[in-house]
Structures are given as C-alpha cells and as structure tokens.
Amino acid sequence: MSEPPGVVCRECPDRVFANVRGDSGDLRLRRAVAQVAGLDLPREPGTWNRADRSRAYWLGPDEWLLVVEGDDGLALEERLRDALDGPFSVADVTGAQVQLELSGPDAGKVLQKSSPYDFHPRKFPPGRCAQTVFSKTTALVAAREDGAFDVVFRRSYADYLMRWLADAAAEYGYRLE
C-alpha cells in the first residue's frame, strides 16, 4: 500500500508514571513538582501541562499523573518524596501504565468511535485531557499541539486495546510503529 495511513500508532516505551495527590492550592506541592519535573501542576479541570521531558495531567481536583521521558520510575518517586514536605502522596505507577501516541489525519475519528466522550477539536483542543470510557475499558486521552493524541491506559488491557485500535482504524489505513 503506497497511500499514507490515516492512523499511525506508536508505543512510547520510555515513559515513567507517577501518581501525585495533594491539595492543589498548596504551594509546597506545586514547588516540589516544579523542582523535580520542571512544570506546574494544572489546576484547571481536564487540562495538562508539559515541560521539556515531562507532562502533568489533571486526573481529579487533588490528583495528577506525572509522566517523564527516559527516567527511572522509582528514582522519580524518590526525588518527589525528598522534595515534598507535607500531606501529599506520590506513587510510582509505571508498571501499571502504557502510553501510546495516535497520529495521522484520522486519529480523532478512531477516538470518536471508541468513546462516548466528545473528541471534536472544538471541544477537545490541544492542552485538554480526559479520562473516559474507551471501548470496553477506560483511558486517559490528551490532545497535543501537533494534532496527535497521547493515550494512557492500563497495561493489563494492552493486548485488548491494541487489537481494538487495529480493528477500529483499519478502515482509515493503520500503521503500528
């Protein structure tokens, strides 16, 4: 097939994940995360922030997912713990998560097929993220500036979700990298 595929899926194996919880208004929490990951925790519901190699996704009013490239999960947790001083929680959840990048002109259509959430660009512009029902499981989906999407889901559903994506994207042309 010489036609470029409508959907390209790429696994991002070099990511580590930390679940961070605490009062979003507490400066000690915000400073510690800024010091370790170089970014500010998003306070606006359903948004995410990024720095050079790290991202912070809003999961709830007092909960975030911190994703860092090419790091060590336990070491990241340790650094956060060292920097944090107060009633906060940090847990390395690298072993539980898989991150994919969905790109291509029809990536958004595959998301729309997979979920009851409104992934129309008007409602879901770059900088937004949402945890929602995704096929028969759940996922965190984030819209990026370059038009691609980051999808984070549970590792135990990886086999199922990869088959689902391949099937859902087949009509647009699908390439797995």
- Give the sign of the dihedral formed by CA 49, CA 55, CA 57, CA 62: negative
| Residue 96 in contact with other proteins, rule: CB under 8 A | no
Residue where the block lists tokens 């097929």: 113
Backbone region of residue 147 per phi and psi (left: phi > 0; alpha: psi in -120 to 50; beta: other values)? left
Q: How many residues bind other proteins (CB under 8 A)?
A: 13
Query: What is the rounded CA–CA span in Å between residue 136 and residue 156?
Result: 13
Which of residues 72 and 155 has its CB atom nearest to other proteins in the complex?
155
CB of 38 to other proteins, least distance (A): 25
Give the SS3 label for residue 14: coil
Instruction: Indicate the residue among 7 and 141 with the shorter CB distance to other proteins.
Output: 141
Q: Whose Cβ is closer to other proteins: residue 99's or residue 131's?
A: 131
Binding region for other proteins (CB under 8 A) out of 21-29, 104-112, 132-140, 145-153: 132-140
CA pair distance 126, 80, nearest whole angstrom: 27
Q: How far is the CB of 1 from other proteins (least distance, A)?
A: 35
Q: Return the residues of window 24-83 that contact other proteins according to CB under 8 A.
A: 45-46, 59-61, 63
Q: Provide, rounded to whole angstroms, the least separation between the CB of residue 65 and other proteins.
A: 12
List 58's β-bridge partners, or say none.
64
Question: What is the x/- site pattern for other proteins, positions 112-131, by CB under 8 A?
Answer: ----xx------------xx
User: What is the largest distance, in Å, between two alpha-carbon atoms of the chain?
Assistant: 57
The tokens of 35 are what? 């010091």
Residues 148-177 that bind other proteins (CB under 8 A): none
* Count of CB atoms situated within 10 Å of the CB of 1: 6
CB of 2 to other proteins, least distance (A): 39
3-state secondary structure of 117: coil
Question: What is the binding site for other proteins (CB under 8 A)?
Answer: 45-46, 59-61, 63, 116-117, 130-133, 138
